[in-house]
């Protein structure tokens, strides 16, 4: 029997056909529009890139969301050259010289995606406005200058290496001669304790207690900020990245409570108990309009300093020890240099002496920062209303330029055999340290103001740690000197990592564990 077709069925079929034709016309029309636009008006038509980049940057942004942007950028630049189109108004660049040119002046500001990316305020890091940034760098930069950091060495040592030694000695005693520790947790605890001391004059006691919830809040806050930059819609829907947003909320509440506590102390006129720390600098700072910073501006700035100052340095120290354990000859040379220059174990090695007497060790730190820059991924900038002429070609006005940090540190025109871990590249004649063109801390006008603190922390921790303790791989360690990575020219296989603003080490709970005992 032939089924009967009623008027409703005909209406339904007609409606469906209309709907399909609408989409066919819509998509077809869009493609025709794009093709016509591409041939006639597209300012980036001359820049090579994947086909989809004419229409969208979605595949690129998806790679950023997945944390895989370093590997993906490397693939794109190997395939298409030093400037690659990655979206209708977006390019990626990887040449050291080009990256430093863009970073050198306020002419090429941070792209709009940065704005209010961490809290709902403009702050030193997320502002795109040069005048505001200069003002904040003046107000907050003072406690981070070389002189201030050298003045704070005693405090940094007390909260840093001294706590670390206490903790290791205790654990080694309990463990009958050795202990197993997680390097990343230990170093992040240490940097968190130091930044808390410099910021509020307090400590999280994270080293002593083997961690603190703040470490998780920091990780979540950085991740959710980066996700919001890549995928701004996520900021309007509380359910998206809910767990991370909760971590950020806790972080903000914590900072708020510290600011309140300090205000209370000031009101109670207990001025003698108030330290001249970073929080105090924020409370005393005055904006251009002559007014003090609002509560939310202060919270925003303190949040930035804690976020920027904890993960990055902890991650760098973890990678450094990872390199030492994978390159035993380098490690032997480091230990030999430290023991030779500082034989008296009862005297703590200080920052200035370490910098002066340990050129090889310093070179290993620089090489670690080159290969694995802790604030990783890409730095988005605007090409300005004039556009910019780069060594690889011209980038037209109003284009977002993604600067690949790793690209700048691996550029073959600056670094010979970039995949190889070769600390010697930072040593000149008679072992003198060379200044080279690292972009690990960015460079130019928006470069990292925390650099002095980073070097103070690393140079007071690593030489003392390495002189006093044996650090060994566990017998079941996944990463070993003889486990080779063919994609790195047969160099040892390194930790797998992801980029979410900072370089997150995959499976760090397991892979960062090492055995520590006293060095005889």
Q: Which residues bind ligand HEM (CB under 6 A)?
A: 124-125, 133, 137, 195, 304-305, 308-309, 312-313, 316, 373-375, 379, 440-442, 446, 448-450, 453-454
CA–CA gap between residue 285 and residue 281 (Å, rounded): 6
Q: How far apart are the first and last CA of the chain?
A: 96
Q: Which is nearer to ligand HEM, 179 or 458 (CB)?
A: 458
Nearest distance in Å: CB 295, ligand HEM: 19
Give residue number: closest CB to ligand HEM: 450
Which parts of 66-143 fold into alpha helices (H)? 69-80, 96-103, 130-141
Nearest distance in Å: CB 255, ligand HEM: 14
| Maximal C-alpha separation, the chain | 102
Provide the β-strand partners of residue 505: 497
CA–CA gap between residue 407 and residue 229 (Å, rounded): 21
Q: Which of 86, 84, 79, 80 lies closest to 54, judged by CA? A: 86
| Residue 107: how many other CB atoms lie within 10 Å | 16
Contact 96, 411 (CB under 8 A): yes
Q: Which is nearer to ligand HEM, 179 or 206 (CB)?
A: 206
Q: What is the CA radius of gyration of the chain?
A: 26
Nearest distance in Å: CB 130, ligand HEM: 10
Structure tokens at 349: 């090695």
Which parts of 125-241 fold into alpha helices (H)? 130-141, 146-151, 153-159, 161-174, 183-200, 213-230
Q: Which is nearer to ligand HEM, 235 or 452 (CB)?
A: 452
CA–CA gap between residue 33 and residue 29 (Å, rounded): 6
368 among the known binding-site residues?
A: no
Q: Which of 465, 190, 460 lies closest to 349, judged by CA? A: 460
Nearest distance in Å: CB 335, ligand HEM: 23
Nearest distance in Å: CB 46, ligand HEM: 27
Q: Which is nearer to ligand HEM, 244 or 379 (CB)?
A: 379
Nearest distance in Å: CB 313, ligand HEM: 5
CA 464 from centre of chain = 26
Q: Which is nearer to ligand HEM, 218 or 448 (CB)?
A: 448
Q: Which is nearer to ligand HEM, 145 or 260 (CB)?
A: 145
- Residues 413-420: contacts with CB under 8 Å, at least 24 apart: 413/95, 413/96, 413/97, 414/96, 415/370, 417/489, 419/371, 419/488, 419/489, 419/491, 420/489, 420/491
User: Which H or E element spans position 322?
Assistant: helix 295-326
Nearest distance in Å: CB 190, ligand HEM: 12
Contact 484, 474 (CB under 8 A): no
Q: At what angle do helices 295-326 and 183-200 cross, to 10 degrees?
A: 150
Nearest distance in Å: CB 139, ligand HEM: 11
Q: Which is nearer to ligand HEM, 111 or 464 (CB)?
A: 111
Q: Which is nearer to ligand HEM, 108 or 360 (CB)?
A: 108
Q: Which is nearer to ligand HEM, 454 or 466 (CB)?
A: 454
Distances in whole angstroms, Cα of residue 228 to Cα of each of 61, 237, 238, 446, 448: 11, 11, 12, 21, 22
Please report, in range form, the residues annotated as the binding site for heme.
448
Please report, in range form, the residues annotated as the binding site.
448
């Amino acid at each position: 029997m032939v089924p009967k077709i009623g008027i409703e069925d005909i209406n339904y079929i007609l409606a469906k056909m209309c709907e399909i034709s609408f989409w066919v016309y819509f998509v077809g029309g869009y493609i025709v529009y794009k093709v016509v636009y591409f041939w006639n008006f597209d300012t980036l038509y001359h820049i090579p890139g994947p086909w989809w980049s004419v229409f969208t940057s979605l595949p690129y942004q998806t790679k950023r969301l997945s944390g895989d942007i370093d590997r993906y950028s490397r693939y794109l630049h190997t395939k298409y050259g030093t400037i690659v189109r990655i979206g209708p108004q977006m390019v990626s660049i990887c040449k050291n010289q080009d990256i430093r040119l863009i970073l050198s002046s306020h002419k090429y500001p941070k792209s709009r995606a940065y704005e209010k990316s961490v809290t709902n305020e403009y702050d030193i890091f997320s502002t795109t406005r040069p005048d505001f940034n200069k003002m904040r760098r003046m107000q907050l930069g003072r406690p981070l200058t070389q002189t201030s950091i050298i003045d704070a060495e005693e405090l940094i040592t007390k909260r840093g290496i001294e706590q670390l030694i206490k903790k290791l000695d205790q654990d080694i005693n309990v463990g009958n001669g050795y202990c197993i520790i997680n390097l990343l947790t230990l170093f992040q605890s240490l940097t968190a304790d130091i930044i808390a001391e410099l910021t509020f004059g307090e400590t999280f006691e994270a080293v002593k207690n083997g961690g603190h919830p703040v470490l998780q809040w920091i990780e979540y806050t950085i991740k959710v900020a980066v996700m919001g930059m890549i995928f701004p819609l996520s900021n309007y829907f509380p359910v998206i990245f809910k767990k991370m947003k909760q971590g950020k909320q806790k972080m903000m509440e914590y900072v708020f409570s510290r600011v309140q506590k300090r205000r209370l102390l000031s009101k109670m006129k207990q001025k003698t108990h108030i330290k001249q720390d970073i929080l105090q600098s924020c409370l005393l700072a005055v904006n251009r309009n002559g007014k003090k910073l609002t509560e939310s501006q202060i919270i925003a700035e303190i949040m930035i300093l804690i976020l920027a100052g904890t993960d990055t340095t902890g991650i760098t120290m973890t990678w450094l020890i990872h390199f030492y354990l994978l390159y035993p000859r380098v490690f032997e040379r480091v230990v030999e240099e430290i023991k030779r220059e500082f034989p008296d174990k009862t005297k703590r090695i200080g920052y200035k002496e370490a910098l002066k007497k340990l050129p090889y060790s310093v070179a290993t730190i620089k090489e670690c920062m080159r290969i694995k820059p802790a604030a990783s991924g890409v730095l988005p900038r605007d090409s300005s209303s004039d556009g910019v002429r780069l060594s690889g070609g011209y980038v037209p006005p109003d284009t977002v330029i993604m600067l690949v940090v790793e690209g700048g540190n691996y550029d073959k025109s600056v670094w010979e055999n970039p995949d190889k871990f070769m600390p010697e590249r930072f040593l000149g004649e008679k072992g003198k340290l060379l200044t080279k063109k690292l972009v690990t801390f960015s460079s130019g006008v928006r470069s990292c103001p925390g650099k002095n603190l980073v070097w103070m922390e690393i140079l007071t921790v690593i030489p003392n740690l390495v002189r006093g303790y044996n650090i060994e791989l566990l017998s079941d360690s996944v990463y070993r000197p003889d486990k080779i990575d063919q994609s790195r020219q047969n160099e040892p296989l390194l930790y797998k990592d992801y980029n979410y603003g900072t370089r997150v080490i995959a499976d760090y709970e397991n892979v960062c564990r090492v055995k520590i005992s006293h060095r005889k």
